[in-house]
Amino acid sequence: MSTSLISVQLPEPLYARLQSRAAREHTDPVEMIGRLIAAESSPTDAGIVADAVLRGGQPVIAGTGVTVRTIVGHYKLGLSPEEIADQLELELAWVYTALAYYHAHRADIEADIAANSEEAVMKDFGAAAHA
């Protein structure tokens, strides 16, 4: 298998951000770019967006504002994908997209669920109220 190499010029501030993020993740910038491109082309990510401005950066179904965490929460309560779609007024394909995304990014979504559990929120709220 032959590999072609190309050069890419990035603006200095963008390259500095890339280097900084790569250092935080203990990888080199080229590997990070490769992972980002692979993730971008992952079929489980199609239709799911994460934007810091929207829902605090949580992954959501594009154009809906419904978080993957919400879909997973309903699913864990025992609702079928069809019931979730009906209850949230979503297309069934979007529910399956969110569930596929969850399975591809389980650790991240589970961490988000844990961080937003009633117990965790009450602990944080209580700590802030007594501070």
pLDDT in tens, 5-49: 777 788 898 888 888 888 887 888 887 777 666 555 555 556 888
pLDDT in tens, 65-123: 899 999 999 999 999 999 999 999 999 999 999 999 999 999 999 998 888 777 766 77
pLDDT given at position 96? 93
**Residue 47 amino acid letter:** G
pLDDT given at position 20? 87
Of the options 1.10.1270.20, 3.90.1170.50, 1.10.10.10, 3.40.640.10, the CATH number for the domain spanning 44-130? 1.10.10.10
Helix axes 68-76, 81-88, angle to 10 degrees: 130
pLDDT given at position 36? 67
pLDDT given at position 113? 86
Q: What is the dihedral of CA 76, 80, 84, 86, to 10 degrees?
A: -160
Name the residue ranges covered by the structural domains of the chain: 9-41, 44-130
pLDDT in tens, 111-128: 988 887 777 667 767 655
Q: What is the 3-state secondary structure (H, E, C) of 40-98?
A: HCCHHHCCEECECCEHHHCCEECCCCCEHHHHHHHHHCCCCHHHHHHHHCCCHHHHHHH
Under DSSP, the state recorded for 101 is H
